[in-house]
A and B are shown apart, each in its own frame.
Chain A
Amino acid sequence: MYSTIYMEREVSEHSLTQRILRQFPSADIVECDRYGEIFNRKAQDFRLQKQRPSLVLARKYGNHVLSVPDGYGVGGVHNYYFSVMMNCVYDCRYCFLQGMYRSANHVVFVNYDEFAESIRTTAAAHDSDDQVWFFSGYDCDSLAMEPIIGMAEYFIRTVKTLEHVWLELRTKSTQIRSLLKQDVAPNVVTAFSVTPDRISSSLEHKVPRLDKRIAAMVRLQEHRWKIGLRFDPLIFVHDYRVQYQELMEKIFSSVDADLVHSVTIGTFRLPKEYYRALENLYPDDQFVAQPFELRNGSVTYPKSVETEMKGWCYEQLGQFIDSDRVHFDELVLESG
């Protein structure tokens, strides 16, 4: 998978670094001082790199846990996110990471212990009656790299004993083995992002097929793990009602709606600077070329389209699941 791995000298002896390197015995290992030398530099071509990303192993200093932007959450009182990885193995044309980062290389911060400590400290600062949520999967897919980096396994262990703490693992992946081989953590929600098959195959490159993801949801439920559904981003097409109706029927014909922790709905939106980057990277892409509108600093659908889609989806979901478990994702991404 990786033929070039960059590694900060500081983490070269770290146990996770060694574990990852063992999985790529023929990779070219290049030492560096700080990951930013490779990741943050100018004059990089995200689209070319995306064809064959390298892995960068690094240590994260500070800001291990951050408050979520406004509008992000599933009903918790206090909401935070953390990212042990930057960038994603998938290639979704609507993804904001394409506009946010200069590089498509995958950065993994191996100092999980410092992230875990920060989670514990942050949680301890809140009243034990309040739910404190930690979201993973904001700057990456939480499970797609699990066999290589073991992130979910580690952080499930971290939060398992913290009673008022909840962990969301946002994913489009089917890599659930590490969850199935351990005892259920009742405060962990594996949240699957879903889009109709036709839209997915057109926009979500390298993402597992929907039926495989549904199979993963079912297996998790069979093992009593909580799952979530994320209809985010909703993608507008003229027959979106048909497509999303089929999607919901497909999911809820297999998944037990009573055991779904939460559902969120949000439409496609990108900060205008990220969208500009996307236009430059993929000027020939039909999705990117659509006549989006600029509203409140975000490039998105016209208000009428957004309201109609969200309203319709909310109503349709009511056929399958209690409305108090359906949340609107109003997250406004801020450009960096």
Chain B
Amino acid sequence: MSISVNIVSAMKSEALALIDQFGLERMACKGDRFPVYANNQLNLIVSGIGANRAEEAVCYLSQQSQSVDVMAWLNVGVVGHGSYPIGKGFLANCIVDSATRRTFYPSFSTNFGLPTGKVATVDVVETEYQEDTGYDMEAFGFAASASKFSTFELIHCFKVVSDNRENSVRRLTMSDIQNFIAGHIDSIVLLCCQLQDLAKSVAQRIEPDDPTVAFANQWRMTVAQRQILRKYLHKSRILNKEIKVDSDIVRNSPNASTMLNSIRSYLNQHWKFV
């Protein structure tokens, strides 16, 4: 089963340290609407600024990853904050779209071991920082879009505080932003590993191949019969009583219906599980 961790950053300056750390290479993508960088486990897309851009970038990246079974998503970027000091990194535990008040709550099914905080996604740069709130321009668009492709447990936002009441956003340089992200590169690497593990555990539930193909060559089956067969074959494998196309119990079945009945009878003999 294939998995990937997809990182979305708004600006190249937010992405540079990650590209460097993970050894990502620029990919040639269909349409080339967004710059995408990748290695064999991880993709990074530079979305541009704003929730709409982040939303589109997530859709674009998922279209580029259609062969991937399970995708985890991470938004990495900088925020202004009402109470956290400059340079502090944290995971969003609540993401509010300031325009609509819609809220996204990331789900913490593993211990990431990182500080957390609220993020409000705004349309224009916020300079009146409220207590306990980080302000960005992408997180909500990112999360809302990613939740169409993955479960909440696999969608997270890691933010680094770049400005606050004492440190104006207007003095921020691209180099500052790059350094803020680089300062948390170890946490981000660990976070990616943890997301990868979660994605793997979801991927393990997906059956790799359709085991009914060999049977379909031998017996004519309706779609419904094939679905039932697939279920039976799966059960037989889990119960350590695997049935193959040349197994005695099915070999001489004259038609699909008889074959399915034979498998059903066979399975009914195997209730023991402890």
Binary contact readout B187-207 vs A (1 if CB under 8 angstroms, 0 otherwise) = 000000000001001101101
Q: Given the complex of chains A and B, what is the CA–CA distance between A30 and B272 in angstroms?
A: 45
Q: Cβ of A37 and Cβ of B103 under 8 Å apart?
A: yes
* B5 CB, nearest partner CB in chain A, Å: 15
**B69 interface hit (Cβ, 8 Å):** no
How far apart are the CA atoms of A135 and B148 in the complex, in Å?
39
Q: Is the CB of A28 within 8 A of B109?
A: no
| Cβ of B65 under 8 Å from chain A | no
Does B151 interact with chain A (Cβ within 8 Å)?
A: yes
A6 to B103, CA, bound (A): 13
Cross-chain contact A291 with B268 (CB below 8 angstroms): yes
Q: Which of B38-46, B233-241, B244-252 contacts A (4 or more CB under 8 A)?
A: B233-241
Most buried by B among A38, A48, A238, A291: A291
What separation, in Å, do the CA atoms of A138 and B207 have in the docked complex?
33
A307 at the interface (CB under 8 A from B): no
Does B64 interact with chain A (Cβ within 8 Å)?
no
- A28–B113 Cα distance when bound, in Å, is 12
Cβ of B179 within 8 Å of any chain A Cβ, yes or no, is: no
Q: How far is the CA of A238 from the CA of B269 in the complex (A)?
A: 10
B-chain residues with CB within 8 Å of residue A38 when the two chains form the complex = 105
Among A45, A238, A305, contact of B202 (Cβ-Cβ < 8 Å): A45
Q: Which residues of B sit under 8 angstroms from A4, Cβ to Cβ? A: 93, 108
Q: How many A-B residue pairs have CB under 8 A?
A: 101
0 or 1 for each of B26-64: is its CB under 8 Å from A? (1 = yes): 000000000000000000000000000000000000000
Chain B interface extent, by class: 35 or more
Give B273's nearest chain A residue, CB to CB. Answer: A286
Shortest beta-carbon distance from B151 to chain A in Å: 4
A44 to B198, CA, bound (A): 13
Say whether, besides A52-B109, A237-B272, A238-B271, A285 and B151 are in contact (CB < 8 Å).
Answer: no
B residues touching A (Cβ–Cβ < 8 Å)? 93-94, 103, 105, 107-111, 116, 118, 147-148, 150-154, 198, 201-202, 204-205, 207, 234-235, 238-239, 264, 267-268, 270-274
- Told that A28-B93, A203-B274, A237-B274 touch, could you supply 18 new A-B pairs with CB distance under 8 A? A3-B111, A4-B93, A30-B105, A44-B151, A44-B153, A45-B153, A47-B205, A51-B110, A54-B107, A237-B273, A283-B205, A283-B207, A286-B239, A286-B273, A290-B270, A290-B273, A291-B264, A291-B270
Interchain residue pairs A-B with the least CB separation, the first 7: A289-B238, A291-B267, A286-B273, A48-B109, A45-B151, A202-B274, A289-B235
